Amino acid sequence: MYHYYIFYIFILFNISYADFNTTDLDRYRDELSTWLVDSSNSIDNYFIEANGTATSTTYAELKTSFALESGRSSEYAIRLRLRLNLPKVQEKLRVVFEDSDSDDDFYDSTKLDNDRYLDKKDYYLRLEYFNYIINKLSFSLSGGVKLNRLDIYPYVNLKVKYNVDSSDNNKRVVSNRFRYYINEDIEDIISYNILYPLEESFYCTVRNSVRYRNWQDYQQIVNSISFVKSIEKNRYLSVGASLLNELEDIDLTLQYPKIYSTYRGKLYKEWIYYELTPSILWRKENDYHESYRFMVSIGMIFKKD
């Protein structure tokens, strides 16, 4: 699978330095972005024909990643996320279509699914309504389907957020996402997240989450801290550490601690980017011996500028 790295290096070199026709690339992006917005507006106009002046925030993101880790086979993945906003139907209504990794709050790219094709992945399609109850409390209610190749699983989703504190010094949020599938599967995620601004364009985030799934014998617990420096639009550098634990009955088992860094840079204009993510993990499956991992990602964002 090393040829994937050669492919990534080839793309990075050509887009950054080579003299090639970017006009076609921009035209393709503009046509797709226009199609997405027009599709969103068509759905919007189907329900309400009145003219509206709201700017569409519809967008799509396509991201592909490749990773090498000592003692493991190379891994690769492709991710897709699409959000259609419907401002005329209701300013707080949107259609979300995304793959299972993008939907997963616990996804941290320490294991890629090795699906090369988008049609091999599981997807979630839902209609989502979000609103504020009071200044510190908000919720989103959605109904949708999980598309598992030939199987379809309808579900309802409720997410509640409460701003414990929101000031110039920090922001603390407690959230709960509850999901119920028609086959009686249940997933519940409770999180407590903190954001500390340290100085201009530099901040620290602390995340604590626990997830319950009734089809698993254990609950997962994630604790992480990261420091992020925004360099400019679509560019940043972050370093951090995280722990993943599994709780079964009263037994708590550490799956892996991890330290990592991510640099995100602009590859072409504002809509093609790359990410470089080196990390060190101590996996339980390796008897907690360290392993060194390096992941390269290239992403494209489609939206109207």
pLDDT tens for each residue of 23-32: 666 777 777 7
Strand partners, 268: 272
CB contact burial 183-213 (16+ within 10 A = b; e otherwise):
eeeebbbebebbeeeeeeeebebbbebbbee
Domains annotated on the chain, with CATH: 2-47+56-303 (2.40.160.40)
| Element at 173 (helix H, strand E) | strand 171-181
Per-residue pLDDT tens digits for 239-256 = 999 999 999 988 999 999
| Element at 301 (helix H, strand E) | strand 290-303
- The mean pLDDT of 63-87, rounded to a whole number, is 85
pLDDT at 282 over 50: yes
pTM for the model stands at 0.81
pLDDT at 44 over 60: no
Per-residue pLDDT tens digits for 82-136 = 877 765 555 677 788 888 888 888 888 888 877 766 677 788 988 888 777 777 8
pLDDT at 19 over 50: no
How far is 290 from 165, CA to CA, in rounded Å? Answer: 38
Per-residue pLDDT tens digits for 142-170 = 999 998 877 889 999 999 999 887 676 78
pLDDT at 4 over 80: no
Across all residues in the chain, what is the average pLDDT?
83
Using alpha carbons, list the distances in angstroms from residue 267 to 11, 149, 262, 264.
9, 33, 15, 9
Residue 136: its pLDDT value, please? Answer: 83
- The mean pLDDT of 271-277, rounded to a whole number, is 91
